[in-house]
C-alpha cells in the first residue's frame, strides 16, 4: 500500500477547502489498516470517507486513512429478513440502491445521502423520519490505539441523534457495517414532504419511495459538486425547560417537541430563518436561499472563511434566542 506525502485534500471534502495531509493512504483491507497503524504509531490519525460532512481550515499534520474496503455480501437469510455486510468504502447511495433493487427495505428513506457506508454509523445518518441505527446490527472496526479488531453490536455503538461512539471517541476506523433488512415493505406515513410527494399513490412500492426521496432531495438541496456544501450544517438544538420557555416567549409559533428526560427539541433551520439569515452572504460564503440549514461555499478555498461565517451565524442566533447552535459538520 502506498503512503503519500503532502496530499492536497481539496478534492476529498465537499466544501472544497484547501489543506495538505502530511501522510495519506487508502488501505484495502483490515490487515492493511493495521499495518499502517503500526508503521505510524505517533502520528495523529483521521479516518476519511467521502468528506461530505467535514472541511479543513488548516493542514492536517498527521495520517489520513481513507479506507478502500469494498464489497457487499449476504450473510444470513430468514423468512422475513436478510443480513447484509457492506465494506466501509462502498458508496452509501449505491448501497441503498442495491438493497432497494433486491426488495430489501429499511434504507429507502436514506436515499441520496452523499458519502460512504463506513461513515453512516459515525453520525447515525438520518432523513425523512429514518435513522440508520434502526437497521445496523454490527459495526466492524479497527482500534486506532491498539490496532485490534473491535466489533460493536448495535447497543455498544451508543447511537443517538447524529451521534455514536465513533463520533464521541474518534478512536475506531470502521471497516464494514452489517445491516438487517426486511424482505417485505409497507409504507408508513411519517414525514409530510414525502407523503406529499407520494400523494395519489395508495401503497407505494419500495422503489417509488426511493424515487420520491430522490426527487424531494434534488429539489431542496444544493448539489455539492456544483455548489460546495456539507448538507445540514447545524444540529437541531436540544433545549432545557427554561430555554424552551424563553424561546416561546420570543417566538410563540416556534416548533418545539418534547423529548424523554424533560428536554425539548427545536428546529435549527427555523431559528436561522427567523433570525433573517436565510440567503445571507458574507463574501464567498452564505446560507443557501432555499434551505436555512445549509451553508454554501460560493467560491473560496479557505476553510477559515467558512468557520468565521459559521461563528457569525451562531452568534446571531445566540444573541436573539439564547440558544447555541452546535455544528453537525466536523471542522478540522
Ligand atoms: C448535500 C448533502 C446532503 C446531506 N444530507 C444528509 C442527510 O440527509 N442526513 C445526514 O445524516 N447527513 C447528511 N449529509 C452529511 C453526510 O452526507 C453524512 O454525514 C455522510 O455519512 C458522510 O459520509 P462521508 O463518507 O462523506 O464521511 P466524511 O465526511 O468523510 O466523514 C464524516 C465523519 O465520519 C468519520 N469517518 C468517515 N469514514 C470513517 C470510517 N471508515 N471509520 C471511522 N470514521 C469515519 C470522519 O472522521 C468524520 O468524522 C449530507 C451532506 C451533503 C453534502
Which residue in 16, 66, 162, 217 is the catalytic one?
Answer: 162
State if residue 166 touches ligand 1 by the CB under 6 angstroms criterion. Answer: yes
**In terms of Cα–Cα distance, which of 129, 328, 101, 102 is closest to 216?**
129
Within 10 A of 262 (CB to CB), how many other CB atoms are there?
Answer: 9
- pLDDT, position 200: 77
236: left (phi over 0), alpha (psi -120 to 50) or beta: beta
Active site residue 232: yes
B/e letters for 60-73, b = 16+ CB within 10 Å, e = fewer, are bebbbbbbbbeebe
State if residue 268 touches ligand 1 by the CB under 6 angstroms criterion. Answer: no
Contact present, 123 and 220 (Cβ < 8 Å) = no
Expressed in angstroms and rounded, the spacing between residue 330 Cα and the centre of ligand 1 is 9
Domains of the chain: 4-65 (3.30.43.10), 72-220 (3.30.465.10), 229-331 (3.90.78.10)
Expressed in angstroms and rounded, the spacing between residue 234 Cα and the centre of ligand 1 is 13
Q: Does pTM top 0.85 for this prediction?
A: yes
Within 10 A of 159 (CB to CB), how many other CB atoms are there?
Answer: 23
Q: What confidence tier does 193 reach under pLDDT thresholds 50, 70, 90?
A: confident
> pLDDT for 208-228, tens place per residue?
999 999 999 999 999 999 999
Residue nearest atom 18 of ligand 1, based on CA coordinates: 53
**In terms of Cα–Cα distance, which of 87, 76, 74, 174 is closest to 124?**
174
Active site residue 328: yes
Average pLDDT over residues 267-274: 96
Query: Which cell numbers hold the place of 42?
Result: 505517533
The number of angstroms, rounded, from the C-alpha of 68 to the middle of its chain's C-alpha atoms is 19
Instruction: From 36, 52, 63, 332, give the residue whose CB has the most ligand 1 atoms within 8 Å, as the site to mutate.
Output: 52
> pLDDT for 84-135, tens place per residue?
999 999 999 999 999 999 999 999 999 999 999 999 999 999 999 899 999 9
The minimum-distance atom of ligand 1 relative to the CA of 67 is 41
The alpha carbons of the chain give a radius of gyration, in whole angstroms, of 20
The number of angstroms, rounded, from the C-alpha of 170 to the middle of its chain's C-alpha atoms is 15
State if residue 115 touches ligand 1 by the CB under 6 angstroms criterion. Answer: yes
In sequence order, what E strands does the chain have? Answer: 4-8, 20-25, 44-47, 54-55, 60-65, 72-77, 81-87, 126-127, 130-131, 136-143, 149-153, 172-182, 229-232, 238-239, 256-258, 264-266, 281-282, 285-287, 294-297, 330-331
Amino acid at each position: 500500500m502506498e503512503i503519500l506525502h503532502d496530499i492536497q485534500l481539496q478534492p476529498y471534502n465537499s466544501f472544497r477547502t484547501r489543506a495538505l495531509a502530511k501522510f495519506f493512504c487508502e488501505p484495502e483491507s483490515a490487515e492493511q489498516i493495521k499495518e499502517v497503524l503500526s508503521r505510524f504509531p505517533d502520528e495523529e490519525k483521521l479516518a476519511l470517507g467521502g468528506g461530505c460532512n467535514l472541511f479543513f481550515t488548516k493542514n492536517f499534520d498527521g495520517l489520513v486513512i481513507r479506507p478502500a474496503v469494498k464489497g457487499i455480501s449476504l450473510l444470513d437469510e430468514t423468512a422475513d429478513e436478510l443480513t447484509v455486510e457492506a465494506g466501509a468504502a462502498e458508496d452509501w447511495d449505491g448501497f441503498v440502491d442495491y438493497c432497494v433493487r433486491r426488495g430489501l427495505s429499511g434504507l429507502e428513506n436514506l436515499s441520496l445521502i452523499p458519502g460512504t457506508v463506513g461513515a453512516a454509523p459515525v453520525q447515525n445518518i438520518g432523513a425523512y423520519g429514518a435513522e440508520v441505527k434502526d437497521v445496523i446490527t454490527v459495526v466492524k472496526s479497527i482500534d486506532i490505539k491498539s490496532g485490534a479488531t473491535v466489533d460493536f453490536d448495535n447497543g455498544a455503538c451508543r447511537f443517538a441523534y447524529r451521534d455514536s461512539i465513533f463520533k464521541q471517541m474518534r478512536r475506531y476506523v470502521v471497516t464494514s457495517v452489517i445491516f438487517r433488512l426486511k424482505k417485505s415493505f409497507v409504507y408508513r406515513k411519517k414525514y409530510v414532504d414525502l407523503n406529499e410527494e407520494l400523494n395519489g399513490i395508495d401503497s407505494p412500492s419500495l422503489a417509488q419511495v426511493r424515487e420520491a426521496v430522490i426527487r424531494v432531495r434534488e429539489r431542496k438541496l444544493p448539489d455539492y459538486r456544483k455548489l460546495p456544501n456539507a448538507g445540514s450544517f447545524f444540529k437541531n438544538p436540544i433545549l432545557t425547560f427554561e430555554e424552551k420557555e424563553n424561546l416561546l416567549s420570543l417566538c410563540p409559533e416556534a416548533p418545539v417537541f418534547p423529548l424523554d428526560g424533560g428536554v425539548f427539541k427545536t428546529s435549527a433551520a427555523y431559528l436561522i430563518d427567523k433570525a433573517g439569515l436565510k440567503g445571507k452572504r458574507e463574501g464567498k460564503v452564505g446560507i443557501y436561499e432555499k434551505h436555512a440549514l445549509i451553508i454554501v461555499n460560493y467560491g473560496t478555498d479557505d476553510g477559515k472563511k467558512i468557520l468565521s461565517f459559521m461563528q457569525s451565524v451562531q452568534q446571531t442566533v445566540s444573541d436573539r434566542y439564547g440558544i447555541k447552535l452546535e455544528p453537525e459538520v466536523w471542522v478540522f
